[in-house]
Structure 1
Amino acid sequence: MSSFQLTSIILFLFFATQVLAVPHYSMNTHNSPETNPNIEWRTCKENDPPNLQCGQIKVPINHEAPHGGHFNLGFARLKSKNTSAIGNLIYNPGGPGGAGSAEVFAQAFLNVSIWTPELLAHYDIIGLDPRGTGLSNAMKCDPNTWNKRVSSTPKNEDEFNKLVAYNKAFGESCRNLTGPVFDFMDTESAAKDMDLVRRALGEEKLTFYGQSYGSQLGSTYAGLFPKNVGRMVLDGVMDPSQSSVAQVVMESNNGYETTLNKFFQWCNTTVECVLNGQDVAGIFDKMIATAESNPIPAPGCTPEGDEACRSDATSEEILAQVQIGLLGFSASPVFLGWPALSGAIAQAAQGNATLLSRPIKNTPSHPDFSFLGVGCKDWIATSKSYIDLALIRQMTGILSPHSRGNSQFYQIQSSCIGWPSPPTNNPHTLDPKKVAHSPPILLVNSFWDPSTPISSANALKTKIPNSVLILRNGSGHTSYLTFGKTTEAIDAFFVKGILPAQGTTFAS
């Protein structure tokens, strides 16, 4: 699962796709997609590397009415330079809202290492953009409405009503600007799209790597098409069969709070932490309490440009940004990581919350918009009143005293109240007997993941009887980008079909 703001690397890659001027594929509301869709391959931009292509296929807007309107589902392919490559590996980076094409462009143009040379030597990588993201009719919304400040933790009925009105207004802006796809951005529809891509590629089985939300997409696919599953890896595991409230409790307590406590411990024992040797938990709690009374100034923020952010930060905005900071590994070659997070917290504690201020959106398309577009179709906002929402926050606040019950699923719970398009995919219960027809699926999780905790991975494992769960004894959200022993195990499964023993724990 991602957050309102995706991790720094995903944002970077997303904006890279804009700079690279990738072609926009328009929607057509007439005719039906072919039973066996054909891929329209084309160059992505001028001076493409020879092994990069962009493609699209026609898919139904509504799979229940396949002869109605359709739109073009886009993706990017990074072809292996090895002529004896195994086949195609479809990739989803998470979110929801992340576009797989962004990582393909980053690897091709910017020399950012997303996949190992071993994997690139054996597979063509297909960066697929799920419906409503990237090249696939990306969701568009009014950024000015988004940028209005409304509390997601209302303290009374009046604030609750303002939240509901805000959600409705923002959602309506998205529906008006996005078109018919807005009402069909659920994960089950995206999984059916993915099977059409598999068929178009000429693959008998789907080879798939899904990170974070990508694990929900992958498990949903396995539930729908178990006999079409090939080698599948789900990294940073979600269990989509849990209720919305259960997800809030699981993530806020087992994920965010547990990882935050690990961060405090890391700070107390690691000189890389700016606050090393101090009462980090106490400093953090005091800083959040200060922001609850009055937003902390963010003097380094400006309202314009790609790095625009608010001029001050509330406690709930800071808590959301800290969770994003925890997604990075404590020592990572890709993400900013925990050392940078410790500096941001130290700076905010001194009265400057620039590094923890909520970004301002200045464009109509953004992964964070798509995050809600998918989330509000997949998860029921069970809170119907101020009391409902307050009780959830009170319960999670008791269980999670430092993070105050904040979580990405709470953001979905609070942001989808009043959303103009009702959910259609909640909860998506997997039938173990049906999924048992798939080959073994590899599940991967780190010990201290603030977004997808081990408890979620264990829960999904019980629903996929032939799955194998391996663990990484470390921090951060997902494991492939650590490029350690866990990465090697994932590569071995994709390339040679070698499965680690159940419960294997890697140090890196």
Structure 2
Amino acid sequence: MYRLISGLAVSLLLAGCGGGDGGSDFSKTTTDAQRTCPQNMECGFLSVPKDYSNLNDGNIDVYYGVRRANIPSQRLGILVFNFGGPGASAVNGAGSMAANRLPNDILNRFDIVGMDPRGAGRSEYAKELTQCAENGNCDNEYATFSQYVGSNSVVKDLDQLRQKFGDDYLNFIGYSYGTRLGSLYAQQFPEHVRAIVLDSSMPPNAENYLQLRLGNTKGYDTVANYRLENTSRMSKFETVVDTINASSYYVDTKNKTFSKYESDSTLNRLVSRQSYNEWAPISDGLFKFLKDDDATDLQTALSQPISRMSENFSSSYSRSDALFGAVICTDELSPISTNEVLRSDFMKESKLFGHYQYEQNASLCADWPNSRDSVANIENMEQKLAGQRILIIGGQYDPATPYAWTESMRQQFGNLASLITVNNYVDHGFSFDGNTCIDNPTTQYLLNPEIPVGNINCDGSIQTKSAMYSSGIASEDDIHPAKRVRGF
């Protein structure tokens, strides 16, 4: 049985929390489509081929929502959002972006569109995945339709959406896993690309889940080095973690026992995103522990409730986890076996996080028994596109999608890509979150993609909209949708 992601492993995987599906049932009627639609959007279902390699196999329905351009006479086309996962719905998120975040220059000239990928929100297979996730076993569902929810199918659905709106070209903003969709669209439909923003990139050439997790583990080390500030703290924490991995606990000079659960919680919060304020409350206690070998203050801090807004594990979260496994394993280009997982060396990537990552996240797709629809590597895109420019955004200390992945994606688009690098900020998903250094050139690019943005460095420590939300100034619904997504 393929396990669903749970417990502390979920927190390390989080690109956010929240992001409900919208709607309590999965009816495909026009009335129900509009009933669950954001107030600022019109919603409906798009009929698409179930299997693009066998058009005789019938059609399925995917759910979408659109907020029409303010000035139809100046309309540039649809601007489609995907907020990551895989597993996240997009209709509500797109409505939230239009209501709270996008500048008038964008709202005036684009139809803002969200499309729930297959298995997400109200689209096909979401009902089945919700039910099996609640039961804790989706093996039968995976065997039946997992090959139809992979990224290749979703990318083709995006092109069907483009055609529905009568546009020759697609404008797309993908966050995290959404960058896989955006880059695949550019690869498969280069002649229909107008503007694509890839924010917090997935790697362009990771061929299986094991490679993704090894890269993630190395990225955590980058974040830990930044936050711990000096090598002596890093070295001491590695010693503590090594001891716990060997004996399940560590005893400090005060004869206090520091447990594996406390260690895992500390690792989790060490690489948590700044917008949820989980790191600051434990930082002083951890620094004291690493300096004086006294865990008292850290244990006290860990025992306090996390200030993050409600992280309840509802059916939509379980469904998201189930879809995560189906898509990631279906997408694999080079399948892995359990023996390959056993031979993997996570400790080479990080002495601090290697054991935990191996234990929690290494084996999800090993010996996957179901059909695949493997995605191709993204490479040599400068030769495949006809001069269309791409905007890539990445955080130097992004804990979910390491900056090394952004650099790899940038390399594959060559001179057609502009790169915005976000420094001094441990977070994920950056555009249209209130930092004008990022938002202004992103807006400029979407309006005039033929004009190069250039390579820009932005200080992410400037207060952003999401940074205010951890202190309770606004509701969870106002947090950037890309920060409320489980997975990548």
Matched, 1:483 2:445: no
CA distance in 1 between counterparts of 2:55 and 2:34 reads 28
Residue 189 of structure 2: aligned partner: 225
- Counterpart secondary structure, 2:139: helix
Q: How does 1:195-274 map to 2 (within 5 A)?
A: 195-244=159-208, 245-253=210-218, 255-265=219-229
Matched, 1:376 2:343: no
Residue 26 of structure 2: aligned partner: 24
Q: What is the CA distance between 1:101 and its match in structure 2?
A: 1.3
Q: Which amino acid aligns with 2:442?
A: I
Q: 2:111 aligns with which of 124, 145, 161?
A: 124
Matched, 1:453 2:442: no
Q: What is the CA distance between 1:104 and its match in structure 2?
A: 3.0
Matched, 1:473 2:423: yes
Residue 189 of structure 1: aligned partner: 153
User: Could you list the runs of 5+ residues in structure 2 that have no partner in the other structure?
Assistant: 251-258, 287-294, 461-488
Q: 2:365 aligns with which of 416, 428, 431?
A: 416
Q: How does 1:152-167 map to 2 (within 5 A)?
A: none
For the 8 Å contact 1:449–1:477, the answer to whether it is kept is yes
* More contact order relative to length (CA 8 Å, sep ≥ 6): 2
TM-score by length of 2: 0.73
For the 8 Å contact 1:235–1:445, the answer to whether it is kept is yes
CA distance in 1 between counterparts of 2:207 and 2:233 reads 36
Pick closer, same or farther for the CA change 1:429–1:483 going to 2, 3 Å.
same
Residue 398 of structure 1: aligned partner: 348
Q: 1:89 aligns with which of 79, 83, 108?
A: 79
Q: What is the CA distance between 1:427 and its match in structure 2?
A: 4.7
Higher helix share: 2
Pick closer, same or farther for the CA change 1:353–1:288 going to 2, 3 Å.
farther
RMSD: 4.0
Q: What is the CA distance between 1:336 and its match in structure 2?
A: 4.0
Matched, 1:57 2:46: yes
- Counterpart secondary structure, 1:11: coil
Matched, 1:13 2:13: no
Q: Which amino acid aligns with 2:88?
A: G
User: What fraction of aligned residue pairs are identical, expressed as a percent?
Assistant: 20
Pick closer, same or farther for the CA change 1:487–1:340 going to 2, 3 Å.
farther
Matched, 1:504 2:456: yes
- Counterpart secondary structure, 2:61: strand
Pick closer, same or farther for the CA change 1:381–1:222 going to 2, 3 Å.
closer
CA distance in 2 between counterparts of 1:454 and 1:226 reads 25
Residue 306 of structure 1: aligned partner: none
For the 8 Å contact 2:336–2:365, the answer to whether it is kept is no
CA distance in 2 between counterparts of 1:385 and 1:47 reads 43
Matched, 1:73 2:62: yes
Judge which range, 124-133 or 195-204, deviates more.
124-133
Q: What is the CA distance between 1:382 and its match in structure 2?
A: 4.6
Residue 425 of structure 1: aligned partner: 374
Q: What is the CA distance between 1:259 and its match in structure 2?
A: 1.2
CA distance in 1 between counterparts of 2:419 and 2:213 reads 23
CA distance in 1 between counterparts of 2:71 and 2:14 reads 32
CA distance in 2 between counterparts of 1:467 and 1:410 reads 37
For the 8 Å contact 1:141–1:369, the answer to whether it is kept is no
Q: What is the CA distance between 1:370 and its match in structure 2?
A: 1.4
For the 8 Å contact 1:251–1:451, the answer to whether it is kept is yes
CA distance in 1 between counterparts of 2:155 and 2:370 reads 19
Pick closer, same or farther for the CA change 1:342–1:189 going to 2, 3 Å.
farther
CA shift digits 1:394-414 (9 cap, x unpaired) = x2213311222655x996641
TM-score by length of 1: 0.71
User: Could you list the runs of 5+ residues in structure 1 that have no partner in the other structure?
Assistant: 28-39, 147-169, 269-277, 297-311
For the 8 Å contact 1:379–1:426, the answer to whether it is kept is yes
For the 8 Å contact 1:98–1:129, the answer to whether it is kept is yes
Q: Which amino acid aligns with 2:346?
A: T
Pick closer, same or farther for the CA change 1:341–1:212 going to 2, 3 Å.
farther
Q: How does 1:269-288 map to 2 (within 5 A)?
A: 282=236, 286=240
CA shift digits 1:207-243 (9 cap, x unpaired) = 0000111111011111100000011110111233233
CA distance in 2 between counterparts of 1:256 and 1:417 reads 23
CA shift digits 1:66-98 (9 cap, x unpaired) = 121221011122334444443310000011111
Residue 175 of structure 1: aligned partner: 142
Matched, 1:385 2:372: no
CA distance in 1 between counterparts of 2:65 and 2:360 reads 31
- Counterpart secondary structure, 2:185: helix
Q: What is the CA distance between 1:489 and its match in structure 2?
A: 1.1
